[in-house]
Structure 1
Amino acid sequence: MMNFNQFFIFSLLPLVINAQCDPGAIYSPERNKCYQYHTIDEDFKTAESICENSNGHLISVHTAIDNTYFAQQAQKNLYNGLVWLGANADSPVLSNPDNWKWMDKTPFNYQNYQSGQPSVLGSSACMVFNASTGKWLTPSCQNSYPFICASDPVNTVQTTCAPQKANKCPSRYAWLEETNACYKLVSSKKNFTEANAACKQEGAELASIHSKLENDFLVEMSTTSANSSIPSGHSFVYIGLVYLQNKWQWTDGSESEHYRNWAVGEPNYLNREFWTVLMPDPCRADYNPTGTQWNNIENMEQRAFICKKPAN
């Protein structure tokens, strides 16, 4: 039985709240939100669908402070161009704030339009902001831009007298206990050579995969929930498997014969398709139906890649 002294000591322990975000998202303690920065261009509907797949929405902006924050973060994590905000108009009268709705259902109580905006584009207008200026514009919802997703973190509460362990993974990396490794999805259009160099630049390698569990973890990290009847050829995710000296090898030098998850008919064209991608979005009933399989391709630009490094 716990005596009084033990209870008193336990009651004085600090309450620790750990905020957990999806892999690759950045936690903002000031806002208690998780933000995922997507560098791939998508139309408004697709971008919002990707955010909803992570239990979130495209970002909403309600103050000048928030607007400046997102502009700075977009410059840091995306680029200096146009970025989707989570507002669309349900009327062609775009100058009336009552005709604009945020996807997260919060009030449309702040605007920061660029001179000459909002423009009259009919009923399909959606909102973007210029990351370099923070100013808002109202293009067609069919246009394609990078975007930012916002979601609520999962807060876990713990009380313990033991010191907290240091983070096992660097910022924006996700830890998988079974492999004791850290993984980072980078949504950036690059070919294999560029993706491989980007991972190495931060002390990582393109991801190697050695089990169904690890494969499923990376699929969950990189799926977009987009509907895909036939692979487009540029919508996949690079992993570190390459065909060299008549055999498949992982770029991190790990054992390469144990696990494979090729789609039906793959690998093929081994005279020119030396690089491997994960296809995290289902294709057809007879080809990659579950969105978990691999394809070998030429060294062409894809939408994302996954870096992997050992945990601390």
Structure 2
Amino acid sequence: MTPTNFYDAETNCVINNGHLASSTNGFVNSFISEMAKGIISDNGAQIWLGSTINSTNWTDGQPFSYKHWAKGEPSLSNGCVTMQISTSDWYAKSCNTPFPYFCEINASASEAYPTTQPIFVFYNQNWTEAEKICVQKSAHLASIHSTLENSFLVEFAQTGFSVSDGMDGYTWFEWQTLIGLYDSYGNGDFKWTDNSSIDFLNWGSFWPNKPGQPTGVGLTTDEVTGEPGYFQHWFDSYQSVEYRAFVCKKAAKLS
């Protein structure tokens, strides 16, 4: 976090098995901004993001397709990308200028979750596409079988700030995290995508409430402003709705 130039910042992130933060969509961009506000007292400060101005990819290899330039930016023909944390807008700066930075570290398995290997994917996807991505990784959207497991996934996937309807143009539930529970026909016959047993449920007070429609289930990993009872509970939603995050889970390899 100590202000440093772009190249040294990226090197420090790589040493720690990560990269400078990549901002691949509106959810992620807002998350980085809110996280930085909670750590850096000067909201007028800027932080490095993981790309040069003319690059086609972020330093972690993801396509540099989403952009959130401030008006009149990029103002340099060459340089690196910063974010002003008060507005989440991007600016072009000399790569040799020192700025604070955040590293994006790949999540790994936790001792608190010993029987599975969770994989956190920080992209906005709808339930159907999220499950497809999990299957491509030889996994499924996460199933939950205990209060401990539920709490672990909340801690694992949360952004750490309170969300609300209309925040950056999204509903409160679009900020939350998809899990593997689903109802194909809207008849209340919920199943886990990994075919594990339904031995634990943690519905919020008003859910499930989408009869007659195929639904996927979300976990409220961040508190909702004015709705304290939503946090850590589940809700059903249409499978076409995009969410901030989802968690894939695959069985641990047993030796």
TM-score, normalisation: structure 1: 0.55
Q: Specify which of 159, 176, 183 is matched with residue 243 of structure 1.
A: 183
Partner deviation per Cα, 1:179-218 (whole Å, 9 max, x = no partner): 4211122122221111111000111111001111111111
- Find the counterpart in structure 1 of residue 196 from structure 2: 254
2:77 aligned partner: 114
Partner-residue secondary structure (3-state), 1:281 = coil
Deviations 1:87-127 (A, max 9, x none): x9xxxxx9xxxxxxxxxxxxxxxx99227xxxxxxx97943
Give the Å deviation of 1:175: 3.1
Determine if contact 1:175/1:311 at 8 Å carries over to the other structure.
no
Counterpart position of 2:6: none
The structure richer in strand per residue is 1
Matches within 5 A, 1:89-128: 113-114=76-77, 126-128=89-91
CA–CA distance in structure 2, aligned partners of residues 225 and 114 of structure 1: 36
Counterpart residue identity of residue 177, structure 2: V
Q: What is the 5 A alignment of 1:168-247? A: 172-230=107-165, 231-244=171-184, 246=187, 247=189
Report the CA distance shift for 1:125/1:262 in structure 2 as closer, same or farther (over 3 A): closer
**Structure 2 CA distance for aligned equivalents of residues 287 and 29 of structure 1:** 36
**Secondary structure, counterpart of 2:160 in structure 1:** coil
CA distance in 1, matches of 2:15, 2:75: 20
**Residue 280 in structure 1 maps to residue 221 in structure 2:** yes
In the alignment, which of 37, 43, 48 is matched to residue 60 of structure 1? 48
Alignment correspondent of 1:297: 237
C-alpha distance in 1, partners of 2:135/2:179? 13
Instruction: Please state if 1:271 is matched with 2:223.
Output: no
Helix, strand or coil: the match of 1:288?
helix
Between the aligned partners of 2:217 and 2:157, the Cα distance in structure 1 is: 15
Runs (5+) with no aligned partner, structure 1 = 1-25, 89-93, 95-110, 116-122, 137-148, 154-170
Change (3 A) 1:27 1:209: farther
Count the aligned residue pairs. Answer: 218
Report the alpha carbon displacement of residue 75 of structure 1 after superposing the two structures with TM.
Answer: 6.3
SS in 1 for 2:128: helix
Q: TM-score w.r.t. structure 2 length?
A: 0.66
Matched residues in 2 for 1:124 and 1:177: separation? 36
1:40 maps to what in 2? Answer: 25
Name stretches of at least 5 consecutive residues in structure 2 with no aligned partner.
Answer: 1-9, 79-85, 96-100, 166-170
Greater Rg over alpha carbons, structure: 1
Which AA in structure 2 matches 1:184?
I
Match for 2:35 among 50, 57, 77?
A: 50
Q: Give the SS at the match of 1:241.
A: strand
Q: CA RMSD in A?
A: 4.4
From the superposition, tell whether residues 84 and 311 of structure 1 become closer, same or farther in structure 2 (CA, over 3 Å).
farther
Q: 1:49 is aligned with what amino acid?
A: E
Deviation at 1:259, TM superposition (A): 0.9
